[in-house]
């Protein structure tokens, strides 16, 4: 493949199809984009932040609106017709989640939460961490998984991190095996890793679930970044806890996530409190008298988003109609092309224009791509400035650390000592920007990253526009794209 210097759409598209003929199998998604996501082209917007949040289709909004406009729905915790109608919608959404992930209702339960972070907090605060328990966690994790370590430490558990390795930011299978086999005497042990990195796009092996469970671990598979574009079949893999956010899968609604949990694992959790909706009965005449409701009911505090939940059913059916395999093919072909083109872009002096953080091809990775743009001398174009310049061309990219400090610290080779400067005074809050500046000023490193990510409404025109934008930096000195915006 040659460097991306062909500004003509048609010949670029022909070249793409020649290398990625499978894209043609997703033609129905072009029609979908034209009628259900028409605002993208109408507003001339190139959306490349699907790992941040998915996009909703017009038809989802319409179906949800029609449903709400056509019924009377009240608070679910009663037996009047409006309450029963809301309960039916909630249970329909629960069934739709189980069906979508091919989860046996005898094995799995679904707890509706506010988002993936809330699902993770439910596990963290309820897991029986105690003296000698173990929390094994990969460097590659979202902060909402890292945050569980606070519950673990408070309970007296050992927290053990497994690093990712340069250059692909993958976990070392031997270190995982060592972590899983060394902690033999923990009374309760939880192993947490993401099915797909929200930083590098790396997809970690799902085989570790079975291996870890065989060694007595409970497994938390953070699936928030994986499920929008990959099939997760819970009849083939059986993680104990699966947190996710629905807005990442289909854009709307934004206030609902889920913890899909094995019933056996759920039974181990000890809720730290009770609330309206989570008990069968409580009395005020003895402060110890209450009965927690079994299953998901015991974990859904107060009133769930009963008007938002039908939009989850609608969203899941929308994905089913398109086909998660087709979505996967679509983004994998586009990302494959992007990776190949980005890594072959050169300045006239032959130096690379792009530095990737993560795998350079589509082997065991998703369509989330983290990178820097480099100038002819190898200096990093200011990351925030790139975001601004992309924004001026109606291209939505994301920059920052993506709440994944582990991948960021390894990608940017920030040592423990260099990081320590940001935590010297525990009572003085240091912002991410302060810390980035501190590290940059003392080491010259740029601890900031650009990320683009594809999703179900992505098409070739989007990636073409991005590549045109990127090639616009060819032969430009980093100082002339604008000032440092750290």
Binding residues (CB under 6 A) for ligand PLP: these are 51, 115-117, 142, 144, 194, 198, 222, 224-225, 245, 257
Contacting residues for 127 by C-beta, under 8 A, at least 6 apart:
148, 151, 152, 188, 190, 218, 268, 269
Q: Measure the CA angle with vertex 206, ends 49 and 410; round to 5°.
A: 55
Element (H, E) at 446: none
For residues 68 and 366, give the distance between their C-alpha atoms in angstroms, rounded to a whole number.
Answer: 36
Contact present, 163 and 187 (Cβ < 8 Å): no
**Residue 53 three-state SS:** coil
Continuous segment of H or E residues that includes residue 47: strand 46-47
Measure the CA–CA gap between 31 and 43, rounded to whole angstroms: 17
Q: Rounded to an integer, what distance in angstroms lies between the CA atom of residue 411 and that of residue 4?
A: 25
The beta strand positions in 50-143, using DSSP E, are: 108-113, 134-138
Contacts of 216 (CB under 8 A, 6+ apart): 189
The SS3 assignment for 91 reads helix
**Nearer Cβ to ligand PLP, position 237 or 279?**
237
Q: How far apart are CA 373 and CA 352, in angstroms?
A: 9
**Catalytic residue ranges:** 403
Per DSSP (E only), the strands in 363-410 are: 368-373, 395-396, 398-400
- Return d(Cα 79, Cα 282) in angstroms, integer: 20
Q: Is residue 264 classed as helix, strand or coil in its secondary structure? A: helix
- What is the C-alpha separation between 259 and 113, in angstroms, rounded? 7
* Contact present, 108 and 164 (Cβ < 8 Å): no
Residue 366 in contact with residue 230, Cβ under 8 Å?
yes
Q: How far apart are CA 138 and CA 165, in angstroms?
A: 11
Query: Helix or strand or coil: residue 282?
Result: strand
Q: How far is the CB of 93 from ligand PLP (least distance, A)?
A: 17
Name 280's Cβ contacts closer than 8 Å, sequence gap at least 6.
Answer: 291, 292, 293
């Amino acid at each position: 493949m040659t460097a991306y210097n062909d500004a003509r759409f048609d010949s670029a598209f022909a070249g793409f199809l020649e290398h990625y003929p499978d894209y043609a199998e997703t033609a129905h998604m072009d029609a979908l984009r034209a009628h259900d996501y028409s605002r993208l082209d109408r507003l001339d917007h190139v959306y490349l932040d699907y790992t941040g949040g998915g996009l909703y289709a017009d038809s989802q909004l319409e179906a949800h609106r029609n449903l709400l406009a056509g019924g009377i729905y009240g608070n679910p915790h009663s037996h009047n017709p409006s309450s029963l109608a809301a309960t039916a919608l909630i249970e329909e959404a629960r069934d739709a989640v189980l069906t979508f992930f091919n989860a046996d209702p005898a094995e799995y339960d679904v707890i509706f939460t506010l988002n993936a972070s809330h699902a993770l907090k439910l596990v963290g605060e309820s897991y029986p961490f105690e003296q000698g328990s173990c929390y094994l966690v990969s460097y590659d994790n979202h902060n909402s998984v890292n945050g569980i370590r606070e519950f673990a430490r408070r309970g007296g558990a050992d927290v053990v991190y497994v690093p990712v390795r340069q250059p692909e930011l993958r976990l070392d299978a031997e270190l995982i095996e060592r972590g899983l086999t060394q902690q033999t005497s923990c009374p309760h042990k939880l192993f947490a890793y993401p099915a797909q990195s929200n930083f590098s796009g790396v997809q970690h092996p799902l085989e570790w679930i079975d291996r870890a469970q065989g060694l007595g671990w409970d497994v938390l598979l953070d699936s928030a970044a994986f499920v929008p574009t990959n099939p997760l079949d819970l009849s083939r893999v059986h993680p104990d806890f699966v947190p996710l956010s629905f807005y990442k899968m289909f854009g709307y609604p934004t206030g609902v996530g889920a913890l899909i949990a094995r019933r056996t694992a759920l039974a181990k959790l000890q809720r730290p409190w009770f609330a309206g909706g989570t008990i069968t009965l409580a009395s005020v005449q003895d402060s110890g008298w209450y009965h927690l409701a079994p299953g998901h009911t015991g974990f859904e505090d107060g009133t769930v988003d009963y008007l938002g939940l039908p939009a989850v059913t609608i969203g899941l059916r929308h994905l089913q109609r398109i086909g998660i395999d087709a979505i996967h093919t679509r983004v994998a072909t586009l990302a494959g092309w992007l990776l190949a083109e980005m890594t072959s872009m050169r300045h006239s002096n032959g130096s690379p224009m792009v530095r990737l953080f993560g795998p350079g091809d589509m082997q065991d990775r998703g369509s989330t791509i983290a990178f820097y743009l480099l100038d002819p001398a190898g200096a990093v174009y200011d990351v925030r400035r790139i975001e601004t310049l992309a924004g001026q061309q109606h291209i939505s990219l994301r920059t920052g650390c993506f709440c994944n400090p582990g991948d960021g610290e390894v990608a940017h080779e920030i040592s423990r000592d260099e990081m320590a400067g940001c935590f010297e005074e525990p009572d003085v809050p240091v912002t991410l920007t302060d810390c980035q500046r501190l590290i940059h000023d003392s080491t010259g490193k740029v601890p900031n990253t650009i990320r683009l990510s594809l999703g179900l409404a992505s098409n070739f025109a989007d990636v073409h526009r991005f590549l045109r934008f990127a090639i616009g930096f060819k032969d430009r000195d980093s100082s002339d794209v604008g000032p440092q915006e750290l």
